[in-house]
Amino acid sequence: MQELRCYAASGQLGYGIPKDSFNRGIKKKPHFIGADMGSIDVGPFHLGSGTMAPGKASAKRDLELLLRASRKSEIPLIIGSAGTAGGKPHLLDTVEMVREISSEHGFHFRLAVIHAEIEKNLIKSALTKGRIRPCGPVPDLTAHEVDRSVRIVAQMGTEPLISALGAGAGVVVAGRACDTSIFAAIPQMRGYDRGLFMHMAKIIECASICAEPGGRDPIMGYLYQDSFVLESQHPLRKCTAVSVAAHSLYEQADPYGFSEPGGILDLRNAQFEEIDEWRTKVWGAQWIPADKYTVKLEGACWVGVRCIVIGGVTDPIMIAQIDKIAEQVPKLVRELLSEEIPPETYHLTFRIYGFNGVTGPLMPRGTFVPQEVFIMVDVVAKDAETAKTVCGVAKQNLLHFGYPGRLATGGNLAFPFTPPEILVGDTYRFNVYHLMEVDDPLALFPIELHDI
């Protein structure tokens, strides 16, 4: 079997692909370019709101770099999880950018657009057939939660991408996709060993993070019949045996096994060997086909509108009792507003940075008393007006709260600017994170072909 050069340009398309590194890899004549544009790590907002995480200018810059290289060398380009969350609005915004760039440069090719937003009725029907189960420590899915979701996407496997490429697509823009699918589709079409190329795909989808030192630069995966070799395209990033092996830990619950649509990637027998200072050879991973093909569903529901107030405290008398103040002021606010805005209709949280704003209430604390603390009053309510009202009342009562021993009667907070109330906007929560059994890996992911 011939060497297959699989080029992973980015693990987070839209935040700036280092150009020199990218061009270094292009000179090595990859057989295809892939880039992952999405993630669930950024939280539920983008999935719920239908917006893209990176700014349009940087997203377009990255897309342009990839499209130009792909068209010039006439090699396929595969973009997965378009527009951050891979739902319909994300996909359409990404396709729009691809069209703009192509018309600016006069590129002509067959574009495949693969949808990954799933109809709620379809999910509810699968639910009644008992074909949906939680993915990890998640409650069982209910029809009510499906209805509450603003949007539900499914992570596609390799099959829709293979189908699109088989139909002659030069560029594939896919909605929500498994990170691995982007880099596994072409090796699968060419008949390479599935354990090997899934393992390779799992590593290169994060670009050069598996190197020492890790980074965002593109990475080349050289795939062979019985092994693959990894090479970062940044000259200082070395793929060592330990750094590559350790990458199996990254953002994963278990470094020895990964569940994918249609099977499990078993890494217990994976071997890593440095072939020189920069490159490591890997082999031994096994693909264990599953009895049933499942896709992961991700959904987010709207929970309210957020407004925050921020301010700082330097008074040591106040800081020494900040935990009690953070309990008493919200109580006061709830009492004051109880008739107009019942307390069960909003969430009021005091986040005290310098105290336990990050660690939260669970982790034990040290005894260190900081010189300053930063307070964020965080309100989530049913609409912007209510959130602003609660925020305002909380701010004023915190500003003038009479704690024991108070000397500083001018006010308890230093505001860095006015207005100190900041309307953050719509807020979402993950409410679907489940596995759905499907009979046909293609059925959920309709493919559109456009000749551009």
Partner 1 sequence: MKLRKLARVIRSKNAGPFLLTLDVLFPTIEAFERVKDSGVINVGTISKLYGVPPESIKIIPYPPGLAFKITMVRPIVSGDIVDTDVYGAQQHTPLLDLNVPLHRST
Chain residues that interact with partner 1, rule: CB under 8 A: 40-45, 135-138, 242, 245-256, 270, 272, 303-304, 347, 349, 351, 357-360, 362-364, 380, 427-430, 433
Nearer to partner 1, 45 or 183 (CB): 45
Least distance between partner 1 and beta carbon 10 (Å): 18
3-class secondary structure, 293:
coil
Taking the C-alpha atoms of residue 438 and residue 140, their distance in angstroms, rounded to an integer, is 18
Taking the C-alpha atoms of residue 104 and residue 114, their distance in angstroms, rounded to an integer, is 23
Nearer to partner 1, 30 or 304 (CB): 304
CB 185 within 8 A of CB 276: no
Least distance between partner 1 and beta carbon 62 (Å): 21
* HSE toward the beta carbon, residue 445, CA cutoff 13 A: 35
Contacts of 243 (CB under 8 A, 6+ apart): 210, 211, 212, 214, 280
Backbone angles phi, psi at 292, to 5 degrees: -125, 140
The position carrying tokens 């307390």 is: 343
Taking the C-alpha atoms of residue 53 and residue 415, their distance in angstroms, rounded to an integer, is 29
Least distance between partner 1 and beta carbon 238 (Å): 14
Dihedral sign of CA atoms 225, 231, 232, 234 in order: negative
Least distance between partner 1 and beta carbon 86 (Å): 15
Least distance between partner 1 and beta carbon 401 (Å): 22
| One-character DSSP codes across 301-339 | EEEEEEEEEEEEE--HHHHTTHHHHHHHHHHHHHHHHTT
Nearer to partner 1, 100 or 212 (CB): 212
CB 452 within 8 A of CB 172: no
In 3D space, the residue among 314, 329, 310 whose CA is nearest the CA of residue 394 turns out to be 329
Nearer to partner 1, 347 or 450 (CB): 347
Residues in the chain: 452
Least distance between partner 1 and beta carbon 437 (Å): 19
Nearer to partner 1, 304 or 420 (CB): 304
∠ CA 398-399-400, rounded to 5°: 90
Contacts of 213 (CB under 8 A, 6+ apart): 236, 237
b/e 89-103 (16+ beta carbons within 10 angstroms → b): bbbbbbbebbeebbe
Nearer to partner 1, 287 or 430 (CB): 430
Least distance between partner 1 and beta carbon 335 (Å): 21
Nearer to partner 1, 60 or 306 (CB): 306
Least distance between partner 1 and beta carbon 210 (Å): 10
Nearer to partner 1, 44 or 76 (CB): 44
Q: How far is CA 308 from the centre of its chain?
A: 24
Nearer to partner 1, 210 or 219 (CB): 210
Nearer to partner 1, 226 or 251 (CB): 251
Least distance between partner 1 and beta carbon 361 (Å): 8
CA 1 to each of CA 187, 244, 271: distance values in angstroms, whole numbers, following the listed order:
11, 24, 20
Least distance between partner 1 and beta carbon 41 (Å): 6
